[in-house]
Every structure is written in structure tokens, then in C-alpha cells.
Structure 1
């Protein structure tokens, strides 16, 4: 039997990626399209401009289909994975009633205001993109979050508790029909095929929220492993067995495998953007020098950072560059500069700050659950860095694992298609056949001791120690109109 092909869509905060895999998880071809800069009309309001999510999916799909050399008849379907925690308002015909609210928008988590007659539906981005592809008003159950929609985390359906359901103020007729991951939501319409270049009639398969799909595509199936997603939002997860309603140090997420759960720690807002920020202020001359020697800017910075010792000679970074709208005083911090510190120290300190901040959230989670995973699977573009992988291993004190496919959300989406198409007997078998480990990094015990001393000695408490100072700075520097508003 010849190859069968599976399309995985990863619609993220910064770009849309479309990847075609074969049934073994090998990449046949891929394409991506960057999203536009998000709009912010006032603090706490963050929107995707125009119809950017759909437009970028159309362009990326057109690109990948032009590159695809196989027979379109052998494409088994498309798995659709998109950003979680966004809010979409649709008109009756399924077009946008207003711009998509980002997960960073405070309105995404507010009670629905049923005061706009143009709004016929509200849903996550996955429901909107499903409709654009299929014409159906259906969505995956595993992208409906309990703080946005009246979902029952035990039944994976809309809640039957009338009081709880009504507390969201969303009329039932304005919600989409929910389906389990790995089931068919609909089929690509002729209209969508004309706009995207995708074959008309192929199944569009339900996945889950983007972090859960990424965890599946990274091979997270058992409690012996933890998982770190290095994205615009950095999160860590472990497998769970039930819906924990009120844990102290994590929250329950619906898995990309029906009736299974993921436990997720607190994360880092605008996580890998910290690296992008530092790159942006390095300057064109540095970037040109890196390029002339055959390196990316990240690789060139890593060459300098690897010469700095663990702990960056006392330079500590709190990666908090994006304040929540309810705590605008919060800021990122770099503390401990002296004459020893170089560009490489700063870069290493940012990486260490991300690793140590996440470790403290992760430790609180696994200690509460009572498990001790012996490895960490790391996904996302940051996992391309050997230095970053080693810092995580040294900070956590366990080996870190990197897979061949580091953009695991697209692969997770393709795995859902493989299950829906019956290519494998279930999700576990599909993961075993399609997810391939590339390499692993073993902790350096000396560096682990350094990070442990820094963390327990000061870093773990540093955000609390800086809290009052940051509040004082904010009050002293905010504009007069902000002062009036805050009073």
C-alpha cells in the first residue's frame, strides 16, 4: 500500500502553519504565513486585525498544496488546531461580527453581553475556522474552557446544570455543537477549496486546544514524563486521570485524547517573545555579522552565552514583560549587573529566567499531584537551541528530550486525522508510530547544584521581593490620565 497523507494545521498567535505528513509522521511538505501585528485600542484589549486567522490559513494552505507532489486522492483529512482562549463572535452566516479577541484580551474572559443583534454565535477560534472550512457550526469539545464557556469537564459537553449554564449569559442557540477529538466535524466545501487550494470533500477532524494538541504530538501519554511548550505562552503539563475541580497549583485541561486530562501549571505570558525582544534591540550590525558567518541571531547569541557560567555570574531575570491588565504594575526585571556582564550573559540570563520561573510552577504542580517524572519533553522553536535544552536539564535535574518534529501541534493534529481515518487502532498506537525522538540532554550535576542554590536562595522569592518596588515605580511613572483612572 502506498503512502496516505494527513494535513495538520497549527493556527497560532504569530503564524499559521500547514504541514502534510505521511502515516509514519514524516513531513512531506510544509508552509506557513505570518499573522499581522495585533491591535490594541486600550490596555487589556488585544485583537487580531481584519480576518487574519482565516486569511493566513488560506495563504499557507495554497502554498503547501502547490508544493505537494502526491495524489490529492490519498489525503485522508485535515486536523485543525488553533489558538486557545480566544473569543470569536460570528454573524448568522458564520462571518466575523467583530475582530477576534486574543487570549491576551481581558474581554475574552468576561461574561457574554447579549446586546449585539449581529452576533448569532460565540466560540473559540477552532469553531470559527471549522465553519469557514466546512460550513458546519461544530467545534471540538477540547477547546471550550471552563472560564469562558459553560462546558462540563466531566461529560465533555455543554453543562446540564441550568444555574451554572446561565451564569455565562450565553443563549444555548449561540453555542456550537461539540464533538470529541478524533471525530469528523465536516468536509471541506467547494467554496473553501477554491479559496485554500485544499481538496474539496476531505474530512476536517476535531483536535483540541493548541497546547493539548502539541502535547499529543510530542508523545505525552504517561505520568513518567513532563512536557514544556515553548511558545508565545510557555506552559508545562503532565498527564492526569480525572477532572480536578479546585487544585491549588495547577488547572485541569481537556486532553487531545477523549476522556483523558492534562494538568497544567501556571505559565509565562509572552514567553518566547522575550527572545524576540532581545534580538530586536541587538541592532542590525550584530544581525549582519551573524549572517555573514552563517549563523542566525539566536545561534550567534548562544555562542556567546555558552561561555557564561550557570547563573550568569549573578545576573537574574524575571521574564514578566507583559503585565496582566489587572496588575499593570508588574514588569520584567533584570538585577545583578556588574562589569563582568556581556551580551552573552544577558541572553543566558533570559533563558535561565524562563527555565527557573517555569520550574517553580512545575514543581508546585507535581508536588501537589504526588508524582516525579524522570524526563521532560520540550516542544516549540526554542527546543532547537542546544543551550536552552541543556539549561532546562540542568535547572530541573532530569533529562530533557527533543523530538524530530519540534512544531508538535501540527503533528498532533495529523495524529487525530490518522485515528479518524482508521489508520491506527487508537491514539496511543498512532503516537507510537508517528512521534520520533531526536535526542536527549543529561543534567550537568555541578550546574544543577548552582541553579538549586540560586533558586532556593533568592530566585524563588524574587518576584515577591520586587512587588512593592514595582508598584512604587508604576505609581511614579504612569501618566496623569492613568492615575485618575486607577483612583
Structure 2
């Protein structure tokens, strides 16, 4: 039997990735292209410059196809996953009327205001890229959370005229919606030529990036949480209901039709802070890492492994991008003394990620009335054995990572496999295509220490620092 393949696209906040899988979920070929730095025209404006999302996708796709060892004709479909909470304004022909607004742009958290007569459509990043791939003005329903007139019970546009007016987007400016696992259209001749992929293959609807990542990580059990290590770090637990008015979590669309993901409050600029710290160290650390035969991340992880749990009292608060309800907050490192090195600072950032998410997940679990027995960690940060062990010790339960840690791409491929009948259900597809790589067990001594740090100091640290930062905010904008 001829071997078949699926393309999984993962359009993230920092890069575009195109991964080609076989039907068992093994990576056959992949390409990646970093996105350009965000365009910050003025306070609150955060845009993807030019046509960066599409242009980077072309570069990543050509790299994946150049390394693809199989027969191009055996690629059976494409699953598309892109960043959520963005806004793309399109002209009538589907081209961009202005740069795509990032999820960090203040405008996307407000109703749309029609200020440009050239704008004919208001859509998401997945809607925009789908249109570029297929020529169709259609999108997955599962990427519409936030400022959109969607009924989250029916996964359809609201029929309430007051809701339409509230969000400022007339029905004729919205794309048609399809459920995850639906075929949105076929790759056009133009898109196929630009990306180097087969013309005519189906483009399958997935969901928002966090939901697709959860599917690719194998998150199906309600006593398991996924910690997604991205630019925005969040935790997710699957569920069947659509509760309203919750405080410790919000309900997101899942990547399986009419299912939901309960998502905790998270960390804005989460893994971005790790990248910021690496860049702050400059060329010296890059040279040392190169001489040692490691990447900068591996070099820092090796150094930080020699630092005891708790970083000798150095604690980091990860407000490098302040929450909307506390705009005065800033990132902090507190507790320095003469013992501390860059390795302590690095480990402290990792511990802050785990401690913050421990508290977020505990709040969500308490409101849901559940007890977790394991966690799955996904994203590039899960490559760090140190960070994986810190998560296990802070949470006090085993932490697992998958063979494919960039699970949004495999989640997109799983949607294709189900849509095209390769596997009869999402459960079967996940079992066949998403495999656990290893599991980190709890180190009891570290668990006890982290529990004490968290309960006695870290959990309430901002209650002590908020008053100082509020005063500083009147001086430093």
C-alpha cells in the first residue's frame, strides 16, 4: 500500500511551522520561518508587519517540501491552525486592507469600528490564511472567541440583532462558519505554486491554536491538565458543558465538534520572558554555548541544574506584560544576594512559570470540583528536562511530554485524519498519532520545598508589591 501523508500547519505568535506527518503521527519533514518583530506604531498597537503571516508560511512550507522524501502526490490533506484572538481586515478580493492585529493589540479586545471603506471582511488569522489557501471566505467556528458575535452554545453567528450591534460587525462582513473536522475548500493553483504543495488537496478546519495543541497532546481525560508553554502560557482541562460566569477559568471551543476546553488564567509573555532573558545575556552566552556544543537553552539548562530548588531564595514575578485589570504591574526578580548568578535567574524564571501555573490550575480545579492525577506539558519549553522536573515537583503529580512537543501541528493533522476517514474518531486518531515520550516523577524533597515557598510567600507576593508598583506607575508610564 502506498504511504500517505498529512500537512499540519502551526501558525504561532513567533513563527510559522509546516510539518508533514505520516498516518502514524511520525514527523517526515518540517519547515519553520520566524516572524518579523511586531510593529508597534503607538501605544496599544501591535501588528504583524506587511503580509508576514502568509509570507512566513510560504518560506516554511517550501522548506518542508524541499526536505520531504516521499511522493508529493501522496499528500492527502492539510490541517490549518493559527494564532487566536487576532483580527484581520480584508478587502473584497481577500487581500489585507491593513496589517493583521496581534492578540496583544488593544483594539482586538474592543468592538470593531469600521473606519476604512476598503474593508469588506473582518476575520481571524485562520480565516485569512484559509482564504489565501482556498479562495473561499469560510473559517472554523472554533477560532472565534472574544470580540465576535458568536453563540458559543450553537457555534454559529448570533441571530440577536443587539449582539451584532454590540460587536460592530455586520453579518455580511463575516465569513461562513464550519465545524472542526470539516473541509473548508481545496488548495488553489496559486497557493500550491507559492507553497510548493499539491494543488487540490482539501484544507480541513481545526480550531484555535490552544485547542488544536490540546488535541495534539492527547488531552481527552477530564482528570488531566495540559500546560501549554507558548508566548501565552495557559492550562486546559477538557469538558462537555459550556458554563457561564466562571471566575477561575473561561470556556473555550475544543478542536472536536461541540466539545469545550476549560482554560485557566495564564501568563502573558510567558515563554517570551525566557527568550528575553537569553537575548539580555548577549553574544557572550551564545559564544560559550557554541564552544560547549550546545544551544543557548541547553547551556542555560545545564547551568541551572546545578542550582538548588528554590534558586537560593530568588523569586521572579512574571508580569512582563501587565494584566488588563492591573496595568501598573511589572515583572520582578526579588531576593538577590551575593550567591546569585545568571543560572539562578534563569532557574527562577522557570520556577515562576511552574508556580504561577500551579496556582492558576488549582483555582480552576477547585471551581470545577475535580482533582488532577497528571499533567501534560507541551511546547518548545518541554524539551527542557529541568523545566519538566520543576513542573512535576511544583504540582506534586507526574508530568508527561509527547514525542511531538509542538502539538498544534499534530493536532491539525489529527483533524485531517478524522475528516478524511483515515480514522473513525478523534479518540482513535489520538491513540494512533499522539504518543507519550516520557514521564517525570515527583522528587519528594523538592515538592515539600516548593509547597512551602508557594503557600508562605509566592502565592500572595503581589499583594505586598502592588502598592509600590502603583506608586511607581505614576512616575513611569
TM-score normalised to structure 2 length: 0.98
Alpha-carbon distance in structure 1 between the residues aligned to 2:108 and 2:428: 36
Q: Partner residue of 1:169?
A: 168
User: What is the alpha-carbon distance in structure 2 between the residues aligned to residue 355 and residue 117 of structure 1?
Assistant: 47
Distance (whole Å) between structure 2 residues aligned to residue 469 and residue 385 of structure 1: 35
Q: Secondary structure at the match of 1:476?
A: coil
Instruction: Report 1:319-468 matches (<5 A).
Output: 319-324=318-323, 327-468=326-467
| Correspondence for 1:56 | 56
Task: Report what 1:257 is aligned to.
Answer: 256
Which runs of 5 or more residues in structure 1 are unaligned? 479-487
1:6-17 equivalences in 2 (<5 Å):
6-17=6-17
The corresponding residue for 2:472 is: 473
- The Cα shift of 1:326 comes to 6.8
- Does 46-55 or 306-315 show the bigger shift? 306-315
Equivalents in 2 of 1:61, 1:255: separation in Å? 26
Q: Residue 303 in 1 paired to residue 297 in 2?
A: no
Would you say the 8 A contact 2:78–2:413 is kept in 1?
A: yes
Shift, 1:452, TM fit: 0.8
User: By how many angstroms is 1:72 displaced?
Assistant: 2.0
Partners of 1:205 and 1:417 within 8 A in 2: yes
Q: Which moved more, 1:287-296 or 1:371-380?
A: 287-296
1:155 is matched with which residue?
154
Query: Counterpart in 2 of 1:95?
Result: 95
Contact 1:43 1:325 (8 Å CA) reproduced: no
Determine if contact 2:319/2:330 at 8 Å carries over to the other structure.
Answer: yes
Once residues 189 and 432 of structure 1 are traced to their aligned partners in structure 2, the CA distance between those partners, rounded to angstroms, is 32
Matched, 1:144 2:176: no
345-354 vs 58-67, which moves further: 58-67
Does the 8 Å contact 1:44/1:324 carry over to 2? no
Gaps of 5+ in 2: none
Matches within 5 A, 1:37-52: 37-52=37-52
Does residue 277 (structure 1) correspond to residue 276 (structure 2)? The answer is yes
RMSD of equivalent CA atoms: 1.1
Number of residues of Structure 1 aligned to a counterpart in Structure 2 = 477
Shift of 1:283: 2.8
Cross-structure match for 2:209: 210
Show the counterpart of 1:20. Answer: 20
Residue 229 of structure 2 corresponds to 230
User: 1:44, 1:325 within 8 Å by CA — same for their partners in 2?
Assistant: no
CA distance in 2, matches of 1:319, 1:359: 14
Shift of 1:460: 0.6
1:485 alignment counterpart: none
User: Would the aligned equivalents of 1:134 and 1:187 in 2 still touch at CA under 8 Å?
Assistant: yes
The 8 Å contact of residues 164 and 170 in structure 2, kept in 1 or not, is answered as no
Provide Cα deviations, 1:133-175, integer angstroms capped at 9, x if missing partner. 0000000000011x21011111111112232232112100000
How far apart in 1 are the matches of 2:476 and 2:82? Answer: 38
Mark the CA change 1:108 to 1:374 in structure 2 (over 3 Å): closer, same or farther: same
CA–CA distance in structure 2, aligned partners of residues 473 and 304 of structure 1: 34
SS in 1 for 2:376: strand
Determine the C-alpha separation between the residues in 2 that align with 1:287 and 1:340: 23
Q: Determine if contact 1:216/1:256 at 8 Å carries over to the other structure.
A: yes
8 Å Cα contact 1:106-1:325 kept in structure 2: no
| TM-score under structure 1 length normalisation | 0.96
C-alpha distance in 1 between matches for 2:263 and 2:393: 22
1:35 alignment partner in structure 2 = 35
The answer (yes or no) to whether the contact 1:79–1:413 under 8 Å persists in 2 is yes
